[in-house]
Amino acid sequence: MLKISALSAAVLAAVSFHTSATQNIERITVTANKIEQSQKDVLASVSVIERTEIERSGARDLASVLSQQAGIQLNSNGGFGHATGLSLRGASSKHTLILIDGIRVGSATLGYKSIENIPLQSVERIELVKGSRAAIYGSDAMAGVINIITRKSEHTTIDVALGSNRYRSAQAATSYTHEDLTISANLGLEETDNFDVLQGKQPDSDTHENTSFGLKAEYQIAQNSKVFAAFQGSEGDTAYDNAFGSDLATEYLSKFDNQVLSLGYEMKLENTSHLFSASQSKDKSVNVGELSTSNTETLRTTFAYDGRFDVQENLILHGGVTASEDDVSESTTMYQLGKRDSLGIFVGSLYEYEQALLEATVRYDDDEQFGSEITHSVALGYKVHRDATFRIAHNSGYKAPTFNDLYFPGSGNPDLEPEESQHFEIGLKAELAQTSIDFAIYRTDYTNKIAWAPNTQGQWAPANVDDALHQGLEISIAKTLMYGIESSFNYAFVNAKDESKNKPFPRVAKHTANWQLAKEWGDLQVVTQIQFRGGRDSAQTLYPSGEVFGLSSYTLANLVAHYAFTDQLKLSARVENLFDKRYHAVVSSLVTDEQSNPTVVNYYNTPERRVFVNLQYRF
């Protein structure tokens, strides 16, 4: 059950902030089908988080923003910059595709993007699509897609912030337009001492630094065509503790260098549009340990074409071709194969007839390593009201094996096949009488999941051995209450089960909820956020019987306030974990007796109450 103290409830009832969640403003998304669509017309669960909402939240990192979305759970091994597991509808990090400006990013050795290193100051908006989108994007998009669009500020803004644990940051965003040329830039600096992240070992402050820079340029060649270029990069380091290292070691440091570069040409004619693009992303990590230093680097080069043809007012055809190469040859580990190429082709259609809607897409992928995959997506919608649409969808997906799975020296399995999924969902999206509702019930069957198991020689190695079932429901309700109070509430139930072992997946809560109340009094805005996470199993087995240690449920409250002195100058403050709740999200290590019974359980520490103050000047 969701438990909120009387004091929490009093704070919730007393404060609120103004949000655009229920305003009748049309939101456009490009992520769901790679074409511009109104969010309300997409036959999937879609969320769009604008920069204004990010700033109103007062959040200091991407994880804090994403954690307020229905169906997303995040578990961090510490504070800012530390490894953060992302679970969308109970799936693991590797089953959610992360894009930056529509470009695939992440490590081809780990198989996912480390979101803790994406600086929030570089983010203009976030588009989240839940449910498989493999028919559009290919591998990895089994649970959904998160597209992070970088800054394109219409004004010049400068922010400086200070906070707990010697947190300090500075950021700037600006733009310049001259005739047909527009240039946008962003710069961010962030440092913090954080706190000691690991119980029982290596007592020290595990610091974090992140420096980011972004530049975009767009030139309008003619009324219907333009060229563009963009770069976004961040680098820094995070000190961490190693549960398997020496008790007093302080050498552990993770350095990162992430970059995304893209070039493109877009042309729009009377009833067609064409986009040609070339991009290169780099995800580099250097791990400094007690006795050695290792380097992991993924260089991904992609060429793509995406087109749209408006056959008639109610029929759109779209499609695209993507050719990419993943190169990990600069990593310290010498893989049997250091590069691999892939080619993907998709075609789809969107059709509307009176109250009926149809989306259908099919994609063919050819991978140099494992061969080919065909995925599809079919969705039907019916407008039960002008502003209410019922939907039903079926999607397939897959996840290509990583370089570590395939070729890691001593344990790689080059015979691995892709993981596969079948996703079914029904839902309702409505905007009625100052109320916005999105409801979904879903089921996803995963097969051929890759897990460690003994091979024919008795050695442990990755193998296609596991099946999983994820099923659940989500509901999001945003409504204007009395006195102009804006209420935004979401609840998610997920039952994620490893069917091969007949056990729930660790660190996935069955019940989660987020509630935000808001109000504006003249120049003052006040925000409250309540976040509930139900009990979860840990990843550690404590007893010879195989019983798994459980992690208790917890409820956190955040309080945010903004005061605008002038149209240009604004002061903001955010208090995280307002009631200084003590809770645990990840078990780090166990100490057991001779009978394997626990004597000590160590956790990764979670943040105590933290306060951040931000001053923004806009001109």
Q: Is the dihedral of CA 91, 97, 101, 107 positive or negative?
A: positive
pLDDT averaged per 10 residues, the chain (length 619): 36 35 65 91 94 95 97 95 96 97 96 96 96 96 97 93 98 96 97 93 93 97 96 97 87 96 96 97 95 94 98 96 97 94 98 96 94 96 93 97 94 94 97 91 96 82 93 96 93 93 89 96 96 86 58 96 97 98 87 70 92 97
CA pair distance 583, 580, nearest whole angstrom: 9
Is residue 522, in this structure, part of any structural domain at all?
yes
Per the structure, the count of domains in the chain is 1
Tokens of 391: 């939907």
Is residue 491, in this structure, part of any structural domain at all?
yes
Classify residue 547 as left (phi > 0), alpha (psi -120 to 50) or beta: beta
Is residue 1, in this structure, part of any structural domain at all?
no
Which pLDDT score is estimated for 290?
Answer: 87
Classify residue 121 as left (phi > 0), alpha (psi -120 to 50) or beta: alpha
Is residue 104, in this structure, part of any structural domain at all?
yes
Q: Taking the CB of residue 334, how many other CB atoms lie within 10 A of it?
A: 9
Q: Taking the CB of residue 471, how many other CB atoms lie within 10 A of it?
A: 17
CA pair distance 243, 38, nearest whole angstrom: 47
Which pLDDT score is estimated for 597?
Answer: 67
Task: Supply φ then ψ for residue 288, to 5 degrees.
Answer: -100, 115
Q: Are 536 and 512 in contact (CB under 8 A)?
A: no
Task: Please provide the distance, in angstroms rounded to a whole number, between the alpha carbons at the two ends of the chain.
Answer: 47
The residue assigned the tokens 């990583």 is 402
Residue type, 433: A
Q: Are 463 and 447 in contact (CB under 8 A)?
A: no
CA pair distance 281, 444, nearest whole angstrom: 30
Which residue from 195, 292, 291 is spatially nearest to 239, judged by alpha carbons?
195
Is residue 134, in this structure, part of any structural domain at all?
yes
Which pLDDT score is estimated for 594?
Answer: 72
Is residue 197, in this structure, part of any structural domain at all?
yes
Q: What is the SS3 assignment for 65?
A: helix
Q: Taking the CB of residue 244, how many other CB atoms lie within 10 A of it?
A: 7
The residue assigned the tokens 């290193």 is 117
Task: Supply φ then ψ for residue 115, to 5 degrees.
Answer: -70, -20
Task: Supply φ then ψ for residue 74, to 5 degrees.
Answer: -125, 130
Please name the residue ranges forming H helices in 414-523: none
Tokens of 160: 């400086």
The residue assigned the tokens 């004619």 is 269
The H or E element spanning position 180 is none
Which residue from 56, 67, 60 is spatially nearest to 21, judged by alpha carbons?
56
| Residue 17 lies in domain | 6-618
Q: What is the DSSP letter of 578?
A: T
Give the CA dihedral 408, 410, 415, 417, nearest 10 degrees: -50
CA pair distance 39, 332, nearest whole angstrom: 44
Q: Is the dihedral of CA 108, 114, 115, 119 positive or negative?
A: negative
The CA-CA-CA angle for residues 553, 205, 118, to 5°, reads 70
Tokens of 473: 């429901």
Residue 268: CATH number of its domain: 2.40.170.20
Q: Taking the CB of residue 93, how many other CB atoms lie within 10 A of it?
A: 22
Tokens of 37: 């669509």
The H or E element spanning position 495 is strand 486-498
Burial of 593: CB neighbours in 10 Å, binned 0-12, 13-18, 19+: exposed
Q: How many helices (H) and strands (E) does the chain have?
A: 5, 36
Q: How many CA atoms are closer than 13 Å to the CA of 588, on its beta-carbon side?
A: 22
CA pair distance 490, 46, nearest whole angstrom: 14
The H or E element spanning position 52 is helix 51-57
Which residue from 43, 66, 55 is spatially nearest to 18, judged by alpha carbons?
55
Which pLDDT score is estimated for 537?
Answer: 85
> Which residues sit opposite 195 in a β-bridge?
none
Which pLDDT score is estimated for 458?
Answer: 78
Which pLDDT score is estimated for 23?
Answer: 45
Tokens of 556: 């956190």
Burial of 482: CB neighbours in 10 Å, binned 0-12, 13-18, 19+: exposed
Is residue 207, in this structure, part of any structural domain at all?
yes
Which residue from 482, 366, 503 is spatially nearest to 434, judged by alpha carbons?
482
Is residue 357, in this structure, part of any structural domain at all?
yes
CA pair distance 38, 28, nearest whole angstrom: 5
